[in-house]
Chains A and B, each alone.
Chain A
Amino acid sequence: MQVSRPIRNILLIELFVPILLLTLGIYHGLMQVIYRSGVIQRTSVAGLDYYQGLTLHGVINAIVLTTFFAVAFGHATMIFYTKREPNKTATLVSMLLMVIGTGLAAAAILAGKASVLYTFYPPLKAHPAFYIGTAMLIVGSWIPYFDWVRMYLSWKREHPQESTPVAVIGTLVNFTIWFVCTLAVAYEVLVMLVPWSLGWTQEINIMLARTLFWFFGHALVYFWLLPSYIMFYTMLPKLAGGKLYSGNAGRIAFFIFLILSIPIGVHHQFGDPSIGRGVKLTQSILTFGVAIPSFITAFTIAASLEYAARKRGATGLWSWIWKLPFFRKDVYLFGYLINGLILFIFGGLTGLVNASYSLNNVVHNTSFIPGHFHLTVGGPVFLAILGMSIYMLSQLTGKRIYAPVLNTIVPYLWTVGVLIFSAGLMYGGLIGEPRRTNMGLTYLNPSSEQFNPYWVVSSMLGLAGGGIMFTAGLLYFISFFGTCFRRRSAEPVIDLPVSETLHEERRVPLLDSFKPWLAIMGLIIFLTYAPAISDAINNTNRKAPPYKPTDPVPVVRQ
């Protein structure tokens, strides 16, 4: 369908800005594997410090890219399925807040004033511009949510008897999770960190800050993931040439995400003091609950793909797999999504390891963790974002894709890289290799007293995989920016692939209403987080003044 020019331009900016920054994010990804493997035994290269690069890599790839994309893709699905346009002013204000906020945070990091990594754990202090910029990015991404609720309600009034499309449910569920979980981090940033980093308040409670961060920090991963899930349910079966096995399974999966995404963040804090074991155990169990929608998705999508392959004439128990359109340039989106799904099988299983109450002791904060989340964020999330970004770019500009062969092989090359990289990191993690450490300076520097030969092989695997991932990234950039500079050859549109469901489905009122699910969500969050926050406040004895990463003496007010 056609979109008005202002909305089209805003969407294009929301796709272009993060991909442009991603060049910086991916460069620092490559630099890290080089530092960590001991090839470079220095603190900085080209004026950029290792920890500064780590901050850039995390913030750009995991927050900026994902948030911008979720907003742009949310606009596209809501426009396409409700046949309505978002409010122009609201969309413009949201885009400006996000771009300016990102600029502020990026400037602070590039100036070397905010090397606090993407978790910004106090009492390490960043420049206030970093916190304010991040807050603006988040607030900017809230605005479309309210606009979409308006669009949904008006659609609902016109179609009272119709089931809400799965994509609309997915988008609204996703931004509801996002809005609720970011309230905690907004409180942490605006009430605790900004006044403290400006020197207006002296000290803050570190455990409270960590607990609020993880209230947001784990739900954040579902905020990244759900756009991919929307694509798996609503597009992948169609791209494969078949139908979605069950639309209701999709609705159930999204609503389970809605109620269970947030009250599980404490599983990141198993090693933390001050929070009771009961809270940790409860949230660990709830984390297993949130694996259920992923199991349901795995089965439903596999069934849909098998149906598609059999429709194309495939037979046999397993050989149907080869009938799927793997290397076809015209359905390149299939390659991006199927590779993401394959990576997510391993990503989900390793995630269950991290979430396991006591098993987590083995892997917490070791390189197992980045090994795991490159299989999730670097797998289904990243590949879906790349594939859909270039797809939307091509449609919204009416330009054909530049170097379509490169674009088709990117997801396969990336997947090979990620599998080697993550295998190396996870193996390293099991033998104690720490994450977030410039190991080239010490543990992997043969001339250092701290040289540790255990981690040579694992970090070399990381280097090999990281190099392949970097190459895949480069090929993507050629294709993406090449497309930007082509001549327009068609009318600009938004046209998403739509999978029909295999069976005629009756409308199930419970799966077409947000109210009961929102009530359950609120209740579970309260029951799990009230004791966690109360523990963090009451069992923490001393507060902390701000510290600069370069200095063991606290920053005092002049």
Chain B
Amino acid sequence: MLDKFERNVIITALTVSALFIFSIFYALGAKRQDVSECLPYNKTYETARVEQIDAKTYQIYYVARMWNFEPAISYIPVGSEVDLFVTSLDVVHGFNVFDKNVNLMAVPGGVAKTTVKFTEPGVYKIVCHEFCGTGHQNMEAEIIVNYPRK
């Protein structure tokens, strides 16, 4: 049915794809790379706040609305592990933390969650990357990582 070369081509294609799929599982296990979690929603996510759980663990609850994020500025000590929760009160917004591989969607009625560790001091800008109306290009926030200064 297929000649030798055709068969080799199909086997090569399958092998390359298998390699990619293996890489996903490798990243999931060894590198702890995961996507947004699926959490049950409740009203408490609609209150913007920064909470300290212990010396090195923080939780930031972001609330997006046209055209700002709250909290606009959060202070986090160097070396903290931070849970980010993001929701929206009006339309769909995007949430991208510069340099941190955090990339979430803020959707009304849903809460996106991820965990990120800040090991370097600096100002981490957050921009909205989903079109959310005429003020979209103004929508940003900051996480300032240097507090308390070491």
- Name A residues whose Cβ lies closer than 8 Å to a Cβ of B: 43, 49, 51, 54, 117, 121, 123-124, 205-207, 210, 245-246, 248-249, 252, 269-277, 280-281, 284-285, 288-289, 291-292, 295-296, 299-300, 303, 352, 356-366, 432, 434-439, 441-443, 450, 452, 503, 506, 508, 535, 539-544, 547-552, 554
Contact = CB atoms under 8 A, between A and B. Distances in A.
A121 B130 CA distance: 10
B35 A365 contact: no
Contacts of B38: 273-277, 535, 539
A366 B112 contact: no
B20 A547 contact: no
Contacts of B96: 364-366, 432, 434
Given A121-B92, A442-B138, A549-B133, A364 B27 contact: no
20 contacts: A51-B131, A117-B131, A124-B133, A206-B110, A248-B6, A271-B105, A273-B112, A292-B13, A358-B34, A360-B103, A432-B127, A435-B129, A437-B129, A438-B136, A441-B138, A452-B125, A540-B41, A540-B110, A547-B133, A549-B131
B24 A358 contact: yes
Given A544-B91, A544-B108, A248 B12 contact: no
Interface string B88-112: 0011101110110111110111111
Nearest to B87: A273
A196 to B, nearest CB: 14
A49 to B, nearest CB: 8
B125 A303 contact: no
Nearest to A273: B110
Given A365-B129, A450-B140, A303 B5 contact: yes
A33 B45 CA distance: 38
Interface of B: 1-3, 5-6, 9-10, 12-14, 16-17, 20-21, 23-24, 27-28, 31, 33-42, 65-67, 86-87, 90-92, 94-96, 98-99, 101-105, 107-113, 125, 127-134, 136-138, 140
Contacts of B87: 273
Nearest to B10: A296
Q: Which 5 residue pairs are nearest across A and B when measured between Cβ atoms?
A: A273-B110, A358-B33, A295-B13, A434-B129, A541-B41
Given A51-B134, A288-B21, A547-B66, A358 B27 contact: yes
A549 B135 CA distance: 9
A535 B109 CA distance: 13
B110 A543 contact: no
Contacts of A435: 129
B111 A552 contact: no
B120 to A, nearest CB: 16
Contacts of B137: 437-439, 441-443
A288 B103 contact: no
A134 to B, nearest CB: 17
Given A51-B131, A281-B24, A544-B91, A292 B108 contact: no
A358 B28 contact: yes
A123 B90 contact: yes
Q: Which of B2, B20, B92 has the most CB of A within 10 A?
A: B92
Contacts of A276: 38
B9 A300 contact: yes
Which of B6, B23, B86, B128 has most A Cβ within 10 Å? B6
A246 B6 contact: yes
Contacts of A270: 35-36
A547 to B, nearest CB: 5
Nearest to B3: A503
Nearest to A432: B98
A249 B4 CA distance: 12
A114 B53 CA distance: 45
A550 B35 contact: no
A357 B103 CA distance: 12
B76 to A, nearest CB: 19
Nearest to A511: B1
Instruction: Identify which of A276, A281, A439 gathers the most chain B CB atoms within 10 Å of its CB.
Output: A281
A299 B12 contact: yes
Nearest to B138: A442
Which of A270, A439, A508 gathers most chain B CB within 10 Å? A270
Given A117-B131, A273-B38, A541-B110, 15 more contacts: A121-B131, A124-B91, A246-B6, A248-B2, A252-B10, A270-B35, A271-B36, A274-B38, A295-B12, A356-B20, A358-B33, A366-B96, A540-B109, A541-B42, A549-B131
A542 B91 contact: no
Contact of B35 (A271, A296, A503, A539): A271
> Quick one: which of A273, A352, A434 has the most chain B CB within 10 A?
A273
Contacts of A439: 137
Contacts of A207: 107, 109-110
Contacts of B9: 249, 295-296, 299-300
Contacts of A274: 38, 41, 107, 109-110
Most-contacted residue by chain A among B16, B99, B102, B130 (CB, 10 A): B130
Nearest to A435: B129
Residue with the highest number of chain B CB atoms closer than 10 Å, among A274, A281, A360, A441 = A274
Nearest to A554: B90
B134 to A, nearest CB: 5
Nearest to B36: A271
A54 B3 CA distance: 48
A437 B24 contact: no
Contacts of A551: 133
A539 B17 contact: no
A429 to B, nearest CB: 10
Given A292-B17, A436-B131, A552-B90, A543 B6 contact: no
Contacts of B67: 552
| Residue in B9, B28, B90, B137 with the greatest tally of chain A CB atoms within 10 Å | B137
A358 B35 contact: yes
Contacts of A438: 136-137
Given A544-B91, A547-B66, A249 B35 contact: no
A508 B1 CA distance: 7
B110 A552 contact: no
A203 to B, nearest CB: 9
B101 A436 contact: no
